[in-house]
Structure 1
């Protein structure tokens, strides 16, 4: 059973590796984000990994569509935020940065944080009925997959920070 979870976690990391490499190799031009197609593929892998790790019973399956929808909606909104940031970055010259309205910037940031909070709340609300039905073994597998994914993200962030320090 742990082998299945390990294989699923490895699939996520293998799928995310080209995305991380692409972001790293283009960092000299600026921060880039994966394409919509790449993010959709990554979301598909994430959803499949979580579902495979949980090994849902037929009774639990009825709760899964709400969870999957919330995961996909959150990923879609994250992509939209990245696109807005990229547009602002691309349209801003160094002079324009000094003339930017900081109040508007704070308001946009507040709206973005509110949207992220709303997405997370929807995800938690979708998970709640399913989570209540999970066995202790399923909860352990869920925690393991979450830990592996979180560790991968943290390691990627630390690597990027170290790379930026080396560039300076």
Structure 2
């Protein structure tokens, strides 16, 4: 079991490191940042799914429950892509405005409505993901649950690191 956890963690670091570095370069670049293209995003989603599935070492009986989990993961990734595209569209429309114009033209009510819609979509996606995972999770043995918990902790920690980097970058941009 230890070998699987070590191999899974190593694979995750190998996969995540270049992506995190690319993301860091994106956020620190003042020129138009390079974004992952659709194929890269799909490959990243595939790798994440494969990593979780490999770490869990599903039994043939558990394999039958996996397709709904994978579908929920993919749907969540697609919805995230759509939310990011909508944000980029909004930012793109305002890119030519000066800071004064942007402040003058800002509509806080529209912002709150967009934010509410995005959070509602994220909430719905998480509900669907939890519903998809529930039947499979009930069948996991203690070792599989430990591996799933370890992956979840790593992912949550990585997500919080990304959020902190974004906040730091935004505060650096605000200081300029």
Smaller-chain TM-score range? Answer: 0.7 to 0.9
Aligned to 1:2: 2
Aligned to 1:130: 136
Structure 1 position 123, deviation (Å): 0.3
Unpaired runs of 5+ residues, structure 1, are: none
For 1:100-111, list aligned pairs within 5 A.
100-111=106-117
2:121 to 115, 119, 125: 115
Q: 1:10 to 1:158 in 2, by over 3 A?
A: farther
Q: CA RMSD in A?
A: 2.2
Q: Is the Cα–Cα contact under 8 Å of residues 5 and 145 in structure 1 kept in the other structure? A: no
Unpaired runs of 5+ residues, structure 2, are: none
Aligned to 2:49: 47
TM-score (norm. length: structure 1): 0.87
Render the CA deviation track for 1:13-59: whole Å, top value 9, x for unaligned. Answer: 22222222222223232676533222211111110111111111111
Residues in 2 aligned to 1:32 and 1:118: alpha-carbon distance in whole angstroms = 29
Render the CA deviation track for 1:74-128: whole Å, top value 9, x for unaligned. Answer: 0111111111111111110231443132212211111111110000000000001
Paired residues, number:
168
Residues in 1 aligned to 2:43 and 2:106: alpha-carbon distance in whole angstroms = 36
Structure 1 residue 154 corresponds to structure 2 residue 160:
yes
TM-score (norm. length: structure 2): 0.84
Residues in 2 aligned to 1:122 and 1:72: alpha-carbon distance in whole angstroms = 11
SS in 2 for 1:91: helix
Q: More displaced, 154-163 or 21-30? A: 154-163
